[in-house]
Amino acid sequence: MRIDVLTLFAEMFPGVLGSSILKRAEEMGQVRYQLTDIRRYTTNKHGKVDDRPFGGGPGMVMACQPLWDAVAAVEKQDKTPAHRVLMTPTGAPLTQPTCERLAECERLLIIAGRYEGIDQRVIDRLDPEPISIGDYVLSGGELPAMVLIDAVVRLIPGVLGHDESAHRDSFSAGADRIFDHPHYTRPRVWEGLEVPDVLMSGDHTAIEQWRKQQAEQATRRRRPDLLNESDSV
């Protein structure tokens, strides 16, 4: 998969893309990241990429021209058509099924906004899939883009080793789209707290049942909406 990110703050990415699983995925040739500074494409002689909002109000708005030209230039670099994504608090919530769908794309082009947002006309023309990482507002789309990249890249087949498979993670089909179960490791007793007996029993059926029950209880307590959704499927 090729992932293009169009941003005004490319310097925020190397630490995240150059660490751990995202780095390994690139080293294995499963993914290629390309960061593009939208400012490079502005025709404004002072390097401006934003302007004051028509209709008044606070803040600045990202102008159409630099982003439009940046997208055109980046898309031309590769014949593979890109699935365009816009990070925005007004997008559809990022969910595991969305990540699973995006992990099947050959190429993603992610647009990170800044300031009050982006001129609606260039959004309408580019027609990206609008995605939000939650009902709160960040200063820019860079952290949301990194969240999306991490959640998607780990789902590309071969990126995670067998031992760290995402198949049974929370919200995945293998976990019935509810929470994962609690996890324990050595020592068996820590600060007087024991690992649940069933996990030491060697009885795999009982362990599976216990884990399922724990996952359901935690989901019912904190996210009952997930159980209702999986009941109705």
Residue 93 a catalytic site member:
no
Options 8, 141, 155, 159; binder of ligand SAM; rule CB under 6 A: 141
Give the bridge partners for 86, in sequence order.
Answer: 111, 130
According to the binding rule CB under 6 A, does residue 136 interact with ligand SAM? yes
Select the span of 3-11, 128-136, 171-179, 197-205 touching ligand SAM (CB under 6 A): 128-136
Binding mask 108-127 for ligand SAM (x = CB under 6 A): ----xxx-xx----------
Q: Which 8-state DSSP code applies to residue 179?
A: P
Question: Is the bond preceding residue 187 a cis peptide, omega within 30 degrees?
Answer: yes
Residue 221 a catalytic site member:
no
Nearer to ligand SAM, 133 or 215 (CB): 133
According to the binding rule CB under 6 A, does residue 90 interact with ligand SAM? yes
Select the span of 6-14, 21-29, 129-137, 190-198 touching ligand SAM (CB under 6 A): 129-137
Alpha helices, DSSP H, located in the chain: 14-17, 20-27, 64-76, 96-102, 120-126, 142-153, 204-222, 224-232
Shortest Å, Cβ 204 to ligand SAM:
41
Please check whether residue 144 is in contact with residue 114, taking contact to mean a CB–CB distance below 8 angstroms: no
**What span, in angstroms and rounded, lies between the C-alpha atoms of 174 and 166?**
9
Please check whether residue 170 is in contact with residue 183, taking contact to mean a CB–CB distance below 8 angstroms: no
**What span, in angstroms and rounded, lies between the C-alpha atoms of 174 and 48?**
48
Residues between 65 and 84 with contacts to ligand SAM, criterion CB under 6 A: none
Nearest Cα neighbor of 168 from 153, 183, 158 is 183
Residue 27 a catalytic site member:
no
Residue 39 a catalytic site member:
no
Number of other CB atoms surrounding residue 189 within 10 Å: 9
Binding mask 144-173 for ligand SAM (x = CB under 6 A): x-----------------------------
Nearer to ligand SAM, 5 or 159 (CB): 5
Query: Catalytic amino acids?
Result: 89, 116, 154, 169
Interacting residues toward ligand SAM by CB under 6 A: 87-90, 112-114, 116-117, 132-134, 136-141, 144
